[in-house]
């Protein structure tokens, strides 16, 4: 609150003295309940200025650390021996610095800056100015304790912002392989033996989301209704932050963005609402390279030798220590990547390079501007189609006219079905579940550069999946194939995801619960709330009863089966036995022998099913159950502890009981946690949840930001919405001027420079 008061005082002084010249940036910030800022400006630069200032008030230290990270200075500021998250792996700071210093191509990104619209450039320049204004107003010594007086809490420029944007574009694509890029070294090199990295494609444990768009045929008022339930981190710069932005040209959008975003990237205006879910499409390809027998840094294309480009990376160290020098390697297909112990390891005969469709992507801001200005879902579809700027998420939208859209249209490699087949390698099938592996010995296997694509090398939107319906569309991170089980989609390029393959349990739960809700009657906000917070486990519904049948006459199973028998099969705060089932399911869920009835592509929602309990299969189930119970007892937590005593958000001495559970167990309200000494704390899951419909005046939106607006534990807004989420309460978002005034907290702040 001190910084807020200081900003207001400075603004008042400036106004009292009179501005001698027209300011470059001018904005108004009004805060409402739960510290949500409403930013108003007559210029796009002023919009970015206000958004950055308000964001910095809530999360400056987190964002400042991220700027240090993407600049490749973690070793300098936080020590080379410490670690950070790179992609989805914890790595030492030196590896992180090597990746960002070698793979963030500033020259390319600076050129890309000029290719954005004037509006986007104004927004981003304003964001830089607003961030720096907050730092000047506050003073480095007066920042929150996490970064007060730190050298890395510094002013930023365009290079910082384009680095951050590039990192966000790669977040759910090749960034997952970043450790293997930063550490790739030729066989025999001393550093090659130091690489330890395993790549796993994302599951609910890493990325997830649910999204529903209901059309007028199934809603009570005949208008569209949207549920957005993205599963994003509770920690770090990928956290969502709520904002309401009113700018030039009638732009009036409320929603959320992540660190560095000058506008909402999912949300609503008066006519449309949209959300995003991480798509199953693959946004990079791996190229297999044949190497010269004389030199493992020379590869062959169409029989001709090509030498890899070497980049010497110098990483500064703290306290005057000598810098660390590493070498990275790249090819015409992209940087070399290695995964020791897998078929994708750099050997004397073969190497592998990665090419990412989002490398250099600076089209996203203009795409989200287009979405925010849309008056119907057709205009949203046009926005994601025209620029191919959405990096790695589905777009799910509903409008006041009663139309519902699912557009799985993103920046994906220009790889058709025919090309994927003709350019496969002898190893492609062995890694097909993880990556798309292409033949790098032939130039013809480079991404297709068709004239019908708006971006050279990318798959045209016309060859990706998009549909508009009047009943509903939904996605829980499975492929385009099933967004409505009543009418599966036709087969498209394998680069877009699996076709006629088994769905995740969370997707199956989504369609099962959605169809049941529709059968119960037409949908409104209350029905949508019940759907998103049902906390049912599809795995439990299919597994617990046959599992309990194995308990008969087994004294060693008496205790655990009694707990499971009393469990309500939910992940509510008061559910007893949920922890035991979660621990058991984690041990068994990947078994190839779980089900008696196999997957049937004609019934993807209901198959596979029927737990296999005969013979050795039953023995394995019992063993897993006993092992899970033993693991829990070692933690000191009771087997029947209420779930809300196990899964909690810690705020000082307070523990906030949470609901929701593992997506891999078919829980829609997904929460994934980290086991600590006496329980679990959330790290990833339901984050910004919005339910948006429309009345005659505009949007009607209920929402929760599960982890609240700020990362500063000293703030009164560190956990206020977490308490709301804990009690399954919702916040009716203020959108109209009268609603904003009714929820206003404090004075409107005027900023200009």
Report the sign of the C-alpha dihedral through residues 507, 512, 515, 521, in that order.
negative
**pLDDT band for position 4 (cuts 50, 70, 90):** very low
Share of the chain above pLDDT 90, in %: 88
| 262-271 residue pLDDT tens | 999 999 999 9
Catalytic-role residue among 43, 84, 89, 209: 209
Span 708-721, average pLDDT: 96
Please check the confidence at residue 203 and state whether its pLDDT lies above 90.
no
- Identify the pLDDT of residue 18: 44
Range 562-568 average pLDDT: 97
Q: What is the rounded average pLDDT for all residues in the chain? A: 93
Measured from the Cβ of residue 491, the count of other Cβ atoms closer than 10 Å reads 12
Nearest to 459 by CA among 419, 426, 422, 507: 419
The per-residue pLDDT for 16 is 44
Per-residue confidence at 343, pLDDT binned at 50, 70, 90?
A: confident
pLDDT digits (tens, 9 = 90+) for 594-646: 999 999 999 999 999 999 999 999 999 999 999 999 999 999 999 999 999 99
Q: Let me know the angle formed at the C-alpha of 259 by 354 and 170, rounded to the nearest 5 degrees.
A: 5
User: Which domains occur in the chain, in start order?
Assistant: 2-183 (1.10.439.10), 184-205+284-356+415-452 (2.30.120.10), 208-254+263-282+364-410+466-513 (3.60.20.10), 538-659 (1.10.1400.10)
- pLDDT value at 7 more than 70: no
Quick one: average pLDDT of 687-700?
A: 97
Alpha helices in 636-676 (DSSP H): 643-646
Answer whether residue 444 shows pLDDT above 90. yes
For residue 117, indicate whether it is catalytic.
no
pLDDT of 367 strictly over 70: yes
The answer to whether residue 272 scores a pLDDT higher than 90 is yes
Give the pLDDT confidence of 24-77 residue by residue, as tens digits: 999 999 999 999 999 999 999 999 999 999 999 999 999 999 999 999 999 999
Residue 10 has pLDDT above 50, yes or no: no
Q: Could you tell me the two tokens for 168?
A: 């966000």
Q: pLDDT at position 167, please?
A: 95
pLDDT tier for residue 450 given thresholds of 50, 70 and 90? low
The pair of structure tokens assigned to 187 is 């066989």
- Residue 387: predicted pLDDT: 94
Tens of pLDDT, residue by residue over 172-185, are 888 889 999 999 99
Query: Which residues make beta-bridge pairs with 71?
Result: none
196 — pLDDT class (breaks 50, 70, 90): low
3-state secondary structure of 644: helix
- Give me the residues paired with residue 179 across strands: none
Give the pairing type, strands 309-315 and 324-331: antiparallel
Q: Kindly indicate the confidence band of residue 552, based on its pLDDT and cuts at 50, 70 and 90.
A: confident
**Residues with Cβ < 8 Å from 644, sequence gap 6 or more?**
572, 573, 574, 657, 658, 659, 726
What confidence score (pLDDT) does residue 340 get? 78
pLDDT at 705 > cutoff 70: yes
Q: Model pTM?
A: 0.95
| Predicted local distance difference test score (pLDDT) of residue 200 | 56
Confidence of residue 191 (pLDDT cuts 50, 70, 90): low
Quote the pLDDT of residue 234: 94
737: helix, strand or coil: helix
For the record, the structure tokens of 704 come out as 């929760």
């Amino acid at each position: 609150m001190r910084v807020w008061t200081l900003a207001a005082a400075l603004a008042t002084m400036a106004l009292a003295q009179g501005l001698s010249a027209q300011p470059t940036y001018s904005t108004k910030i009004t805060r409402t309940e739960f510290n949500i800022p409403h930013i108003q400006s007559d210029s796009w630069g002023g919009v970015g200025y206000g958004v950055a200032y308000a964001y910095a008030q809530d999360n400056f230290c987190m964002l400042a650390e991220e700027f240090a990270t993407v600049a490749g200075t973690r070793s300098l500021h936080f020590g080379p021996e410490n670690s950070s998250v790179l992609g989805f792996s914890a790595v030492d700071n030196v590896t992180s610095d090597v990746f960002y210093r070698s793979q963030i191509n500033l020259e390319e990104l600076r050129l890309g800056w000029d290719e954005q619209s004037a509006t986007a450039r104004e927004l981003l320049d304003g964001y830089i100015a607003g961030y720096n204004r907050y730092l000047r107003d506050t003073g480095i010594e007066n920042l929150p304790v996490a970064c007060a007086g730190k050298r890395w809490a510094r002013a930023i420029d365009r290079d910082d912002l384009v680095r951050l944007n590039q990192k966000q574009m790669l977040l759910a694509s090749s960034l997952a392989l970043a450790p293997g890029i930063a550490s790739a070294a030729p066989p025999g090199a001393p550093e090659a033996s130091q690489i330890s990295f395993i790549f796993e494609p994302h599951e609910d444990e890493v990325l997830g989301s649910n999204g529903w768009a209901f059309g007028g045929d199934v809603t009570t008022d005949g208008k569209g209704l949207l549920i957005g339930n993205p599963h994003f981190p509770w920690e770090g710069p990928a956290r969502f932050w709520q904002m309401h932005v009113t700018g030039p040209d009638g732009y009036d959008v409320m929603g959320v963005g992540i660190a560095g975003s000058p506008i909402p990237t999912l949300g609503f205006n008066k006519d449309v609402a949209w959300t995003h879910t991480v798509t199953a499409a693959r946004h990079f390809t791996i190229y297999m390279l044949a190497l010269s027998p004389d030199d493992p840094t020379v590869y062959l294309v169409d029989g001709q030798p090509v030498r890899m480009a070497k980049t010497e990376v110098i990483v500064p160290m703290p306290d005057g220590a000598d810098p660390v020098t590493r070498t990275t390697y790249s090819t015409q297909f992209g940087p070399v990547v290695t995964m020791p112990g897998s078929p994708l390891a750099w050997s004397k005969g073969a190497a592998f390079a990665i090419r990412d469709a989002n490398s250099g992507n600076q089209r996203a801001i203009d795409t989200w501007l287009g979405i925010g200005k849309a008056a119907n879902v057709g205009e949203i579809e046009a926005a994601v189609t025209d620029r191919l700027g959405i990096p790695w998420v589905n777009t799910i939208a509903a409008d006041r006219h009663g139309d519902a859209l699912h557009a799985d249209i993103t920046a994906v490699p220009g790889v058709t079905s025919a090309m994927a087949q003709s350019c496969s390698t002898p190893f492609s099938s062995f890694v097909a579940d993880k990556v798309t592996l292409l033949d790098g010995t032939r130039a013809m296997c480079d991404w297709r550069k068709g004239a019908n694509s708006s971006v050279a090398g990318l798959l045209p939107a016309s060859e990706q999946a998009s549909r508009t319906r009047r009943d509903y569309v939904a996605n829980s991170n499975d492929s385009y194939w099933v967004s409505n089980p009543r009418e599966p989609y036709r087969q498209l390029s394998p680069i877009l995801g699996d076709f006629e393959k088994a769905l995740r349990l969370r997707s199956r739960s989504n369609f099962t619960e959605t169809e049941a809700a529709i059968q119960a009657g037409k949908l409104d906000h209350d029905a949508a709330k019940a759907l998103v917070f049902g906390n049912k486990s599809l795995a439990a519904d299919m597994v617990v009863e046959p599992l309990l049948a194995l308990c008969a006459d087994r004294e060693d199973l008496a205790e655990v089966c009694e707990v499971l028998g009393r469990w309500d099969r939910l992940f509510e705060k008061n559910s007893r036995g949920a922890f035991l089932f979660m621990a058991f399911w984690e041990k068994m869920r990947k078994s190839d022998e779980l089900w008696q009835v196999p997957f049937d592509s004609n019934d993807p929602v209901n198959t596979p099913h029927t737990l296999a309990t005969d013979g050795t299969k039953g023995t394995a189930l019992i063993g897993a159950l006993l092992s899970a119970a033993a693991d829990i007892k070692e933690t000191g937590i009771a087997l029947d502890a209420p779930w809300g005593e196990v899964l909690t958000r810690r705020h000082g001495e307070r523990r906030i009981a949470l609901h929701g559970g593992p997506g891999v167990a078919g829980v829609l309200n997904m929460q994934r946690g980290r086991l600590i000494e006496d329980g679990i704390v959330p790290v990833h899951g339901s984050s910004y949840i919005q339910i948006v419909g429309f009345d005659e005046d505009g949007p009607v939106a209920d929402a929760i930001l599960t982890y609240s607006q700020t990362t500063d534990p000293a703030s009164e807004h560190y956990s206020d919405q977490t308490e709301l989420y804990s009690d399954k309460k919702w916040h009716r978002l203020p959108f109209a001027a009268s609603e904003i005034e009714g929820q206003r907290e404090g004075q409107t702040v005027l900023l200009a420079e």
